[in-house]
Homo-oligomer: A and B are copies of this chain.
Amino acid sequence: MTPTYRSGLGASDRDNIWLLGRSLPDDIMGKVSFGELAYWMMTKRQPTHGQMVLFEAVLAALADHGFTPTAIASRLTFLSAPDSVQGALAAGLLGGGSRFLGVTEDSAKFLGGVLARHDGELPTDAAGWDAVALHAVQTAPGFVPGLGHPVHKAGDPRTPVLFRLAREHEVFGAHLSLFEAIGRVHPQVLGKTLPLNGAGVCGAVLADIDIPQGVIRGVALLARCAGLLGQLAEEMSDPVAMDMYMNIDRNTDYRP
C-alpha cells in the first residue's frame, strides 16, 4: 500500500497554483513581499507587521560580512565550476554551521532552555530578569552564547538597533528580556564586561517572533543566500578569486 504524503505548502493542477492554501497568482504574487512569504512558509503563519519588521531586520543583519570563509569558498567554487551557480551557492551555504552562523541558533536555544525551566513564572520587571539571568550565567555549562565579539569589542552596532526596533514594534518578548538582563549581570560572574553580539540578539529576536528553534539556523542561511548571490554577482563582474588562489599557491610551503 502506497502511503500519502501530507504537505501544506505548494501544489498545482491544470488551472491553479496554490501556495500556503492561497491562490499563488491571485493572492500572493504582487501582494506579499518575499520576506513575508519566507516567514509564512517557515512558520505556516502570516506575520504581524511588527514580526515582519524584525524578521527583515535580522535578515539584513546576517546577509553579508564581506570576505568571510563562506564567501571565499563560494567564489573559489565559482572559479572552478562557473557553469554551476547552484554549486557555488551551495558550497558557500555549507559553511553555515556551528562556528560562523551557529551563534544565532545557539543563543536562541540557550535562552529558550533557561525560559523553559522557568515556565509559568516569568519575571515581570528588570530586577526579576536580572535574577533569572544571573542564575543562568552562573550555571551555564560553558560559554554563554552571544556574549563577546572578536572585532566589535566596544559593542556590536546591530545590537541597540534590534533592541530598539523590537520595543517600537512591540515584539520585545521573554528571550530579548533575558538576553538584555544577561548583558547587565554577566560582569558580576565573569569579572569583565562583554558586548552582546548581533548574532546572539538575532537569535533572541527570532525566538521572540515565534520562529521555531529548528528553523532559526535556516533564517540565517536565507540571509546568507542573498549575501552569497551578491558575492557571486560581484565575482562575475569584478573577479578576485583567481588572485586569492594564486596568492595562496605562491606562498605554499611544501613539507611532506
Contact = CB atoms under 8 A, between A and B. Distances in A.
Interface of A: 2-26, 28-30, 32-35, 37-38, 41-44, 53, 55-57, 59-61, 63-70, 72-74, 76-77, 79-91, 93-101, 151-155, 157-158, 160-162, 165, 198, 212, 214-215, 217-219, 221-223, 225-227, 229-234, 236-238, 240-241, 243-245, 247-249, 251-256
A126 to B, nearest CB: 24
A59 B80 contact: no
Contact of A232 (B26, B67, B82, B215): B215
B157 A226 contact: no
A98 B88 CA distance: 13
A249 to B, nearest CB: 6
Contacts of A9: 64, 66, 227, 230-231, 234, 256
B91 A42 contact: no
Contact of A252 (B5, B79, B254): B5
B97 A5 contact: no
A94 B95 CA distance: 13
Contacts of A74: 73
A86 B96 contact: yes
B226 A34 contact: yes
Contact of A91 (B43, B73, B214, B230): B73
B226 A65 contact: no
Contact of A60 (B2, B21, B28, B240): B28
Contacts of A84: 81, 83-84, 86-87, 94, 97-98
